[in-house]
Structure 1
Amino acid sequence: MEPFSTFNHGVEIVDSTLRDGEQAAGVVFSIEDKLAIAQKLAAIGVHELEIGVAAAGPEEQAAMREIIRLGLPSRLTVWCRAVENDVQQAAACGARAIHISFPVSNILLQAQYKDGFWVMEQIRSLIPAARHHFEFVSVGLQDASRTELTFLYQICRLLQDSGINRIRLADTVGIWDPIITFETFDCIRRQFPDLPLGFHAHNDLGMATANTIAAMRAGAGSVDVTVNGLGERAGNAALEEVVMACRVVLQTDCGIDTQSLTDLSHWIGLLSARPVPFQKPITGKGVFLHESGIHVHAMLHDCRSYEAFMPESIGRPREDFVIGKHSGKAALRVMMERWGVPAQPHMETQLIHLVHHHPQGIADAIGRCPRMAPAIGRGVHVDVPQVDRNVFDVRAGNEFQERPHPGQFADDAQ
């Protein structure tokens, strides 16, 4: 077993924003939203979209029919419980692909008054019918992370000759770590080398993306994601994180247009009323900002010094440095040149003193509001509570947020 072995197989990205993403508490997408989301995801190269839940009611079924009518190049999959009626409803929507989810852990089976015998019988009953109606049949093992490996083997053994297209292991409550994820997938892959495997991660302990990459290293041929990690409880593996981890960590291109990731992320943030956090990996507004004097000095020589990848690769411009409490003279000198303020040693000393002794807002205001700089550079007094409140919120503790602008990401939303 080689957990850091070279990644050498393809992988499909399965996006569940329209299914698991909308299951996030309080999130509702209109039919128009769903159509736009499906089109955008297909346009950037997502291989498969989970477009909804068969048993969620007439409105959900109507939305799924409309999405299917778009004729998108991505595979469109309907999520079903392991009951015959769900399979029939998915077929009635015109779907060509289905995912059937079986609870497999003792805790879930007991909560639903079922047992392992029921699982095996439902597989024998439902899979032939599903294969009759659908071109692509995926079987999910819900709560696989709390299921005995021996029972997972029994299920896989039953499924391997059934003609299904994929078996998907779900870390439903997000309790796996990357090592356990890798070991589990590696064991199953070695026992059943011809069985296509997928992975569905949850982020309850903050390890969804890491676990997803571990599953891929161990042989998973498809992985589930949602935009921004939107989903139940703490969410899922984030599409933008997994895609960029594929590129940076696994050094493989999974076929997604990374130039669209930033706009997509913030657009979904608006539609879901879940704004992208300032420091969210990949697409947060603050993830390419540098304040530390040591970092900035190195970045001026080579922008790769303190960045894992270039911001341009995800469709965003290179950020200016932030002038703040930890800034050094090198950053100040560069910023003053950009502001058109003549660089003079005494002025640099004064500015360093200013930003180091006003850590509760003025430093960020200078760094993100260049038109303030000439006045500050000339020694003009600035009252911190009055710093351009139409553009910035300046709060205690150096917390800084830029106000959203009307019409932001409007082009993507249309």
Structure 2
Amino acid sequence: MLDPVSERPRPPSAGRAVFLNDTTLRDGEQAPGVAFSRKEKLALAEALVAAGVPEIEAGTPAMGDEEIETLRSIASLKLPARIAAWCRMSENDLMAAVTAGLSAVNLSIPASDTQLAGKLGRDRAWALETVERVVGLARSLGLSVAVGCEDASRADPDFLCRLARAAQKAGAFRLRLADTLGVLDPFSTHALVRRVAVASDLELEFHAHDDLGLATANTLAAVMGGARHASVTVTGLGERAGNAPLEEVAIALRQTARLECGIDPGALRALALQVSAAAGRALPRAKAIVGEDVFTHESGIHVSGLLKDRSTYEALSPQVLGRDHLVVIGKHSGLAAIQMALADQGVQVDAERGRAVLERVRAFATRTKGVVPPAILREFYEDAFREAALRRRPARPVGA
């Protein structure tokens, strides 16, 4: 919501400032080749809520009986979160959601002329009438209704404002602006969200796609523009290049904007690993926030600085995420790291021998394209120790 005088986002209320709507079970499952079983969806729903997610977009009831039964099973868990179904803006999809026993729906309709005409052969007048009719029906059935504007990023902003007013009049509580094709940048995202926020009293949600690698940045820009709901998936799992990653949005909001969304940072890596396992997709080692290597250091300059003062190379404390820094030995290690790693094995090494070990480390790392295991590092030290001892041994007299 925007302040009507300043047209800036109003200060967040106490507690949760931004609400994350996780759509891993819906949009995440639309990633190529991903198919969650019912058991996996139930476990993931429980894990999402345990991590602090307040709303889950759990599936698409129009897919058929199997999906409806899965949604019904999730609803039966009675989790302390809003469980919603994604539906097209149609009576048939709406009634499928009712059959699934859910109390909330996201009703989606194309907002751009390109999609209205090209996909449905319809126009703006039809869209406005359909929103009023289907949202009104959903409200009469006792459902909480969010309206999704598909392809909002390519829609006429004035028409988006008209859709927002129609949705609000029919009883919707929220409007989703979807960057369906991932065409926005942070500046255009901020401008679009702010434009609609000024024209409507509806709560706004932003749904980003990562085709240009900007999903997280665009989501933060949307929040700065007035959105108080963000659509995310764990690890960014989703169609094409994926969606805005839950873990990135949650931590970036906290670090850069000092906004809380109620997510437990310590639960994020385990949650990411659980989703990756269910999706059959390995978690990239360098994945922001949750990757194995994001607090791992090899560079000699970085390690030396961290050993003296963590603030030199630490902006995000790994302890916040229940993790810690890890120093590995490799081609770019320096003397300080070699001495520390050997000290961890109970060995004190002087600078001369440390540099001899370092030469072996760099040759090994270049040859193997990997880091040096502790046991190999110890062998390098022992080799250097023996060589130094041989150099100190006096030469035997000739003829002795």
CA distance, structure 2, for counterparts of residue 256 and residue 375 of structure 1: 45
For the Cα contact (< 8 Å) 2:7–2:198, is it kept in 1?
no
Matching residue within 123, 130, 141 for 1:122: 130
Q: Determine whether 1:334 maps to 2:343.
A: no
Q: Determine whether 1:101 maps to 2:108.
A: yes
Q: C-alpha displacement at 1:247, in angstroms? A: 1.3
Which residue does the alignment assign to 1:388? none
The structure-2 alpha-carbon separation of the partners of 1:7 and 1:275, relative to structure 1 and needing over 3 Å to count, comes to: farther
CA distance, structure 2, for counterparts of residue 352 and residue 36 of structure 1: 47
CA distance, structure 2, for counterparts of residue 247 and residue 37 of structure 1: 24
For the Cα contact (< 8 Å) 1:355–1:362, is it kept in 2?
no
Question: What stretches of structure 2 of length at least 5 have no aligned partner?
Answer: 385-400
CA distance, structure 2, for counterparts of residue 157 and residue 146 of structure 1: 19
CA distance, structure 1, for counterparts of residue 152 and residue 111 of structure 2: 6
Which residue does the alignment assign to 2:390? none
For the Cα contact (< 8 Å) 2:61–2:97, is it kept in 1?
yes
For the Cα contact (< 8 Å) 2:265–2:321, is it kept in 1?
yes
For the Cα contact (< 8 Å) 2:87–2:93, is it kept in 1?
yes
Matching residue within 287, 298, 308 for 1:280: 287
CA distance, structure 2, for counterparts of residue 344 and residue 7 of structure 1: 57
Cα-to-partner distance string for 1:283-323 (whole Å, 9 max, x where unaligned): 1111111122221111112223223212222122x232122
CA distance, structure 1, for counterparts of residue 285 and residue 262 of structure 2: 27
Which residue does the alignment assign to 1:16? 23
Q: C-alpha displacement at 1:262, in angstroms? A: 0.7
Q: C-alpha displacement at 1:332, in angstroms? A: 1.4
**Counterpart of 2:296 in 1: which secondary structure?**
coil
Matching residue within 378, 383, 387 for 1:379: 383
CA distance, structure 1, for counterparts of residue 62 and residue 257 of structure 2: 38
**Counterpart of 1:378 in 2: which secondary structure?**
helix
For the Cα contact (< 8 Å) 2:18–2:260, is it kept in 1?
no
Q: Determine whether 1:214 maps to 2:218.
A: no
Which residue does the alignment assign to 2:398? none
* Partner amino acid, structure 2, of 1:327: S
Deviates more, 1:300-309 or 1:167-176: 300-309
Cα-to-partner distance string for 1:129-178 (whole Å, 9 max, x where unaligned): 01112341000000000111121122123223222110010000111111
Which residue does the alignment assign to 2:301? 294
Q: Determine whether 1:164 maps to 2:172.
A: yes
**Counterpart of 1:360 in 2: which secondary structure?**
helix
Identity of aligned residues (%): 41
Give the number of aligned pairs. Answer: 377
**Counterpart of 2:126 in 1: which secondary structure?**
helix
Matching residue within 358, 363, 372 for 1:357: 363
The structure-2 alpha-carbon separation of the partners of 1:3 and 1:178, relative to structure 1 and needing over 3 Å to count, comes to: farther
Q: Determine whether 1:60 maps to 2:64.
A: no
Q: C-alpha displacement at 1:5, in angstroms? A: 8.3
**Counterpart of 1:79 in 2: which secondary structure?**
strand
Q: Determine whether 1:149 maps to 2:157.
A: yes
TM-score norm. by structure 1 comes to: 0.87
CA distance, structure 2, for counterparts of residue 319 and residue 43 of structure 1: 26
For the Cα contact (< 8 Å) 1:91–1:134, is it kept in 2?
no
Larger Rg: 2
CA distance, structure 2, for counterparts of residue 165 and residue 153 of structure 1: 15
For the Cα contact (< 8 Å) 1:261–1:315, is it kept in 2?
no
Question: What stretches of structure 1 of length at least 5 have no aligned partner?
Answer: 381-414
* Partner amino acid, structure 2, of 1:308: A
Q: C-alpha displacement at 1:6, in angstroms? A: 9.4
For the Cα contact (< 8 Å) 1:339–1:371, is it kept in 2?
no
CA RMSD in angstroms comes to: 2.1
CA distance, structure 2, for counterparts of residue 148 and residue 221 of structure 1: 22
Which residue does the alignment assign to 1:387? none
